Structure 1
């Protein structure tokens, strides 16, 4: 029996007032490179051979309402590396923010459009993830969210508790679900894209399985002529199932 996944996580998509400017900021922040770009989209991708996941910046102006439900955690290799990374990002235009982290060992910053992210203290479990250690999603029920997302993202559940559940694939960042009592109330400004795999059972099967697991179709203004399908997971977080296939 083929145990390879039917779909994989392929992008983190960022709504931006100025996608070109924000993409260039994240390119410098991560020391990555620019990928595909057109009038509507600017991508930032890891250097050749480095693990990671594409960041896709789209023009979608709107007022940010509270902390994002999806954010990135950046890795560090030592306390000195963490301090130097934070200083570099502050010089680049980030700012420190308080999201109730208290005296946590990680630093919480915001990019030029106020999107929160963390620079983690050194943690051996993130060795080999690349610059982005984890894609973090707030969740009312982390274990349930991990079970829902595991087949969609093509990742295995590697940690699960009421406070945090984590998925990991063959390489690249973790996908983590962290307990939060704050419900989803407005469209997320950061969301995930998945795509059917070339060896899987096809995009229609991915969509059907997602719906059977609790996803629902949502209208975020995408219209009828687009090639992707917009769904919401069981906690209301929007995501897209793209056309085509991936490896």
Structure 2
């Protein structure tokens, strides 16, 4: 039994506008599964597939009250590509952000609804990830997060230190999932992770397994929905979708 990371979920004031921003930022397409929901994924992509972690943008009544600790890092192939991408993102409506990063080779931006993300300088490790290099979660203990998420999913652990835990789909494709140690763990945006069981697996059994691993139930005002909201041992909320 195992789960796969299939998408990141953005809470938004306007799912259509924010979804279009991220589609244009990544060179992906948009679709919708219903009112208030915009799906952002590679053109021609058959979801779910480990080649990409997609984006699901959902309109909620008051997104300002929803604060998570996850953000996206975008990959680049050269210094020129990084500069061009930053310029393109600013044209799309992103704004420069100062989070105390100082003099670093990456660029910190905020999307039109204020969610932070980074445009990385070229790094060999991310040369084949696609436009999203990593989904990054701030945490207090990367080693503990590696234990939980390594058992929660079928992703492979690539690196674990006191400061960083890095996982990637077992197929060796798509972005990384990274847990980065922060001495001041705080919410940085409205992004959380969505996990999905494999076809034929049982959602309830997976949820029970996660609770044994240390997950706890989370109430985010979801009401009667087919997915289950949980929090990992550091309180990072995530959802377990239905199998299929």
1:30 aligns with 2:26: yes
Pick closer, same or farther for the CA change 1:63–1:38 going to 2, 3 Å. Answer: closer
Partner of 2:175: 173
Pick closer, same or farther for the CA change 1:211–1:66 going to 2, 3 Å. Answer: closer
Partner of 1:9: 5
Contact 1:228 1:240 in 2 (8 A): yes
Q: CA deviation at 1:204?
A: 2.6
Partner of 1:42: 38
Partner of 2:119: 119
Partner of 1:240: 239
* TM-score, structure 2 normalization: 0.91
Please report the RMSD computed on the Cα atoms of aligned residues, expressed in angstroms. 2.1
Partner of 1:145: 145
Q: CA deviation at 1:206?
A: 1.4
SS of equivalent to 1:243: coil
Q: How far, CA to CA, are the matches of 1:82 and 1:137 in structure 2? A: 22
Contact 2:68 2:237 in 1 (8 A): no
Contact 2:67 2:187 in 1 (8 A): no
Partner of 1:128: 128
Q: How far, CA to CA, are the matches of 2:187 and 2:113 in structure 1? A: 20
**Residue correspondence of structure 1 range 1-247 to structure 2 within 5 A:** 6-48=2-44, 51-62=51-62, 64=64, 69-169=69-169, 170=171, 171-183=173-185, 189-198=190-199, 200=201, 202-223=202-223, 225-245=224-244
Q: CA deviation at 1:203?
A: 2.0
Q: CA deviation at 1:219?
A: 1.1
Q: CA deviation at 1:10?
A: 1.0
Q: How far, CA to CA, are the matches of 1:37 and 1:27 in structure 2? A: 16
Report how many residues are paired.
238
SS of equivalent to 2:241: strand
Contact 1:77 1:122 in 2 (8 A): yes
125-134 vs 177-186, greater mean Cα deviation: 177-186
Q: How far, CA to CA, are the matches of 1:67 and 1:180 in structure 2? A: 16
